Amino acid sequence: MDELNTLLTVKEKDINGVLKEFNPVNCTTSKDLNIQFHYIRFQDELPRTMDFIGQLRNFIPPYCLKREKLQNITPSRITQLYLEAKAKFVKTNTTGEPGELIVYFLLEGYLKLPKILSKMSLKTNSQMHVHGADGVHLGFEGQDAVLHFGESKLHSTYSSAISTALASVKEFVSPTKRNGFQTQKDFEINILTDEIDIPEGELRNIVLDILDPYNAARDKLRYSYTCFIGFDLKELAGKCGLEEFSTIYQEKAKSCYDLVVDKIAKDDILKSLKWQFFFIPFSSVDDFRKKFIQGLSQ
């Protein structure tokens, strides 16, 4: 849908400049489970982590603010909007918000799925994290609209990150007595209906009809769950040639893949869902997070 593409703020060239796709062997995908591996590009046998952080910072305003605030920006407003956007982030070295920004970056840049709910713009306290999904993006498969709910985990080990991401999604779709809605997902859709970040027009009307639980168009609504997993790969802490890195990453990627497939297959709720996984290794996720937060203070 052409109107959908106009909502994208991250372009393919933006993401390809700092990330590169890695294709491990024996890691096949299916219609309901797609697993992709990427890595931060190298320069002089070291990952360009600061370039990656810098590129992420470039997209803080469209990630944090509603589209209407970013229309027809005058030069005098650019700095003001950037300061307003970065003030939304929690400034602690344990925050998961840098990972949430990466989910947005990957979904828009790689899958061309625009963000349609600006949850950061809803924050009334910069020291509080948003609850529920880490992002809501929109795509179409034929006549069906697909809501892509994001989940981000930055852990030192991929096993811990995978386990907690899957547990979070399972809780998101499971029945709950909270908020007066059957599931957290239903509550999120209710928020989306009120706060949808799509300009007035045909696309907005189509999507609102599909989100309406009392409209026949709701038949066309589908869901997908995107998990970004960031984890430590200690070999990246020093100089690491691309050939050596590829050998190490092949082994880690296969372990990540096997663990995801095994955990989903063993759980009736998880295996009923549609999944997209992104993996990126860091020399240290804690160091990445600290450098990202430090950058917000500049």
pLDDT at 178: 64
Q: Which two tokens stand for residue 121?
A: 């713009």
Percent of the chain with pLDDT over 90: 71
Structurally, how many domains does the chain consist of?
A: 1
pLDDT by residue (tens digit) across 185-214? Answer: 999 999 999 999 999 999 999 999 999 999
pTM for the model stands at 0.93
pLDDT (tens digit per residue) in 56-111: 999 999 999 998 888 877 777 888 898 899 888 888 888 889 999 999 999 999 99
The span from the CA of 219 to the CA of 184, in Å, is 20
First to last CA, the chain: 39
CA distance 155 to 96: 10
Domain of 124, in residue numbers: 2-296
